[in-house]
Amino acid sequence: MAITTNDLRNGMTLDLPEGLCSVVEFQHVKPGKGGAFVRTKLKNVRTGAVVERTFRADERVEQAIVEKREMQYLYTDGEDYVFMDVVSYDQIQVPPSALGDAANYLKEGDNAVLQMYLAEIVGVDLPAAVELTVAETEPGLQGDRVSGARKPATLETGLVVQVPLFVNPGERIKVDTRSGEYITRA
pLDDT in tens, 135-167: 999 876 666 666 678 889 999 999 999 998 888
Answer for the pair 94, 119: CB distance below 8 angstroms, yes or no. Answer: no
Residues 52 and 91 in one domain: no
* Partners of residue 70 on adjacent β-strands: 113
In this model, does residue 185 exceed pLDDT 90? no
Domain boundary among 75, 106, 125: 125
Q: What is the mean pLDDT of the chain?
A: 89
What's residue 139's pLDDT?
79
What's residue 120's pLDDT?
85
In this model, does residue 82 exceed pLDDT 70? yes
Nearest of 97, 94, 67, 69 to residue 82 by alpha carbon = 94
Cα separation values, 25 from 13, 165, 177, Å: 12, 42, 24
pLDDT in tens, 34-62: 889 999 999 988 888 899 999 998 899 99
What's residue 96's pLDDT?
87
Contacts of 157 (CB under 8 A, 6+ apart): 103, 104, 105, 106, 107, 132
Report the predicted TM-score, pTM, of the whole model to 2 decimal places.
Answer: 0.75
DSSP letter at 158 equals: S
Contacts of 51 (CB under 8 A, 6+ apart): 18, 21, 41, 42, 43, 44
- Whichever domain contains 98, its CATH number is 2.40.50.140
Answer for the pair 102, 96: CB distance below 8 angstroms, yes or no. Answer: no
Q: Chain centroid to CA 36: how far?
A: 35
Distance CA 106, CA 168 (A): 21
pLDDT in tens, 4-45: 988 899 989 999 988 899 999 999 999 988 889 999 999 988
Residues 101 and 52 in one domain: no
Residues 52 and 72 in one domain: no
Residues 119 and 140 in one domain: no
Domain boundary among 13, 36, 62: 62
Residues 18 and 41 in one domain: yes
Residue numbers of the domain that contains 22: 2-62
- Whichever domain contains 25, its CATH number is 2.30.30.30
How many domains are there within the chain?
3
Cα separation values, 135 from 130, 149, 162, Å: 15, 20, 13
Residues 121 and 133 in one domain: no
Residues 139 and 96 in one domain: no
In this model, does residue 180 exceed pLDDT 70? yes
What's residue 100's pLDDT?
83
What's residue 144's pLDDT?
60
Tell me what the mean pLDDT of segment 62-66 comes to.
91
Residues 22 and 48 in one domain: yes
Residues 76 and 55 in one domain: no
